[in-house]
Amino acid sequence: KAGVTQTPRYLIKTRGQQVTLSCSPISGHRSVSWYQQTPGQGLQFLFEYFSETQRNKGNFPGRFSGRQFSNSRSEMNVSTLELGDSALYLCASSNLGNTEAFFGQGTRLTVV
């Protein structure tokens, strides 16, 4: 069974630009969550989707948004990038959202 796939693996963007990250969950998993990992703040929850519906959202500004498609694939978008958005963005998939969650390798975003 293939794991969680995140693309791209690395991204360099300029301040003010926007970026879209993609996540393909494990086959059969309907819940996809996104996390931001930084050395200073650790792993912080962004949002969770299940069957195309956002069920929970973390404390991030509205510049961070996401969506989920009917095939459970998810995208995360960050608009008007700031230097502080530089981080490893991780996607996790699970069957129902309250059971084992499996993470992808992440997308390393660098904002310059």
Which residues of this protein are in contact with other proteins, per CB under 8 A?
4, 6, 31, 33, 35, 42-45, 48, 50, 55-56, 58, 90, 92, 97-106
Judged by beta carbon, residue 55 or residue 63, the one nearer other proteins is 55
What minimum distance in Å lies between the beta carbon of 36 and other proteins?
A: 11
Q: Burial level of 68, CB count in 10 A (0-12/13-18/19+)?
A: buried
Contact 46, 34 (CB under 8 A): yes
What minimum distance in Å lies between the beta carbon of 84 and other proteins?
A: 19
Q: Evaluate the CA torsion angle 5, 77, 31, 60 in order and state its sign.
A: positive
Judged by beta carbon, residue 33 or residue 78, the one nearer other proteins is 33
What minimum distance in Å lies between the beta carbon of 102 and other proteins?
A: 6
Judged by beta carbon, residue 20 or residue 95, the one nearer other proteins is 95
What minimum distance in Å lies between the beta carbon of 99 and other proteins?
A: 7
